[in-house]
Structure 1
Amino acid sequence: MKTSPTHVSTHCEDLMRALRRFGPSTDLVNRWGAELAARLGGGGRLLAAGNGGSAAQAQHLTAELVGRYRDDRAAYSAIALHADTSATTAIANDYGVQEVFARQTCAHGRPGDVLMLLSTSGASANLIAAADEARRIGMDVWSLSGPAPNPLAAASDEVLCVDAPAATVQEMHLVAVHMLCEAFDAAVAP
């Protein structure tokens, strides 16, 4: 199927609209970056998860924290739960797909840690189960999701909802991930 110039133009218009509406969210993302720097700098960890493209975004975030975003700095504890394929497939086989992130959250999460969940729909049962488990443990749950209201937003302590088509939601989540890394690095800079 060929993409018409109209489809490309519509996609760009959706993205520009979403970027304009994103402005008020910058305060939340900056606060998350500073808070995450304090928690990880104090020995805490970030657990992150998503499904499909959102899994890639979550893994991008953890890679930036363990490695580096721009400038060289210390490594921080950040784990992409979906990246452990052996655990993920074993849990899915033994407990069901809805438990793949909740079980890992139970294993790796501690009170005061942060669980970051990414979902374009905000309706993934396995992310909602992980949010419930994290809150039971005493972790904070931050989410990037699509349009509100949605079940993931309701299960989270804080959420940044993007009101846009699914592809644009994922693009805005990448913007938020990069802004979070900028704020994190600024907070840990000597």
Structure 2
Amino acid sequence: MLDIIKSKINDSISAKKALLDDEVLLNEFNALIDACLASLKQGGKVIFCGNGGSFADAQHLSAEFTARFEKERRSLPSLALGTNSSTLSAIGNDYGFEYIFSRELDSIATDKDVFIAISTSGNSKNVVEAVKVANEKGIKTWGWTGKGAGKMGSLCATIQIPSNNTARIQECHILLGHILCGQVEERYFS
């Protein structure tokens, strides 16, 4: 049993090492940090979405902006799509589950915002639909995916975790999410 635990930890370390060694990905991620800073400085907000574990990550990271991450500071505008259960159920019922994020995004987002669409496969229909709406509205968008980026790869800039394992991808997403929150907080308030 201990060997299995150690193997999973080693798998996680390997995924993070591949992430660390991917200069293209790190440069794209740095561009995302810069875009978030620019957005917030001009009165925009950082908007997240995802399904399942990625939905939890979207809420988690949005909370780090609106509450605080490591510094005592004023709130930064951010939200996760799909958190209003009445909106979610109304859109799902009236239009279909694939539009739960895109309809909400269309109603609240402006071209000052940054949109981070999280899907380990890059193929989640409702996330892809939201990216399409973001493109129509001129919103700067990054897809957080795994290797290959799926359908989102042709629709927006992507942060492609160099792995095909969902758990390892999600572990890297939350690591990058914490780095994003920390860098935005540090640089915005310095």
User: What is the TM-score with the length of structure 1 in the denominator?
Assistant: 0.92
Q: RMSD of the alignment, in Å?
A: 1.4
Question: 2:12 pairs with 9, 12, 15, which one?
Answer: 15
Is 1:135 paired with 2:135? yes
% identical equivalent positions? 28
Is 1:161 paired with 2:160? yes
Q: Determine the structure 1 residue equivalent to 2:101.
A: 101
- Asked if structure 2 preserves the Cα contact closer than 8 Å seen for 1:33 and 1:187, the reply is no
- Asked if structure 2 preserves the Cα contact closer than 8 Å seen for 1:30 and 1:183, the reply is no
Q: Determine the structure 1 residue equivalent to 2:51.
A: 51
* Residue identity in the other structure for 1:101: F
Distance 1:140 1:183 in 2: 18
Distance 2:41 2:66 in 1: 12
Residues 107-143 of structure 1 deviation map (CA, whole Å, 9 limit, x = unaligned): 0111131111111111100000000001001101111
Distance 2:30 2:155 in 1: 22
Aligned CA distance change for structure 1 residues 35 and 187 (closer, same or farther; 3 Å): farther
Within 5 Å, give how 1:1-190 maps onto structure 2: 4-23=1-20, 24=23, 25-156=25-156, 158-164=157-163, 165-190=165-190
* Residue identity in the other structure for 2:30: N
Give the match's secondary structure for 2:82: helix
- Asked if structure 1 preserves the Cα contact closer than 8 Å seen for 2:42 and 2:112, the reply is no
Greater relative contact order, per chain length (Cα 8 Å cut-off, separation 6+) = 1
Query: 1:34 Cα deviation (Å)?
Result: 2.8
Distance 2:155 2:27 in 1: 21
* Residue identity in the other structure for 1:119: S
Moved more, 48-57 or 11-20: 11-20
Residues 1-23 of structure 1 deviation map (CA, whole Å, 9 limit, x = unaligned): xxx33432332122111111112
* Residue identity in the other structure for 1:76: L
Q: List alignment gaps of at least 5 residues for structure 2.
A: none
* Residue identity in the other structure for 2:81: L
- Asked if structure 2 preserves the Cα contact closer than 8 Å seen for 1:47 and 1:79, the reply is yes
- Asked if structure 2 preserves the Cα contact closer than 8 Å seen for 1:29 and 1:179, the reply is no
Q: How many residues align?
A: 186
Give the match's secondary structure for 2:176: helix
- Asked if structure 1 preserves the Cα contact closer than 8 Å seen for 2:35 and 2:114, the reply is no
Distance 1:61 1:142 in 2: 15
Distance 2:4 2:104 in 1: 40
User: What is the TM-score with the length of structure 2 in the denominator?
Assistant: 0.92
Distance 2:37 2:73 in 1: 12
Distance 2:93 2:47 in 1: 22
Distance 1:140 1:31 in 2: 11
Distance 1:163 1:11 in 2: 16
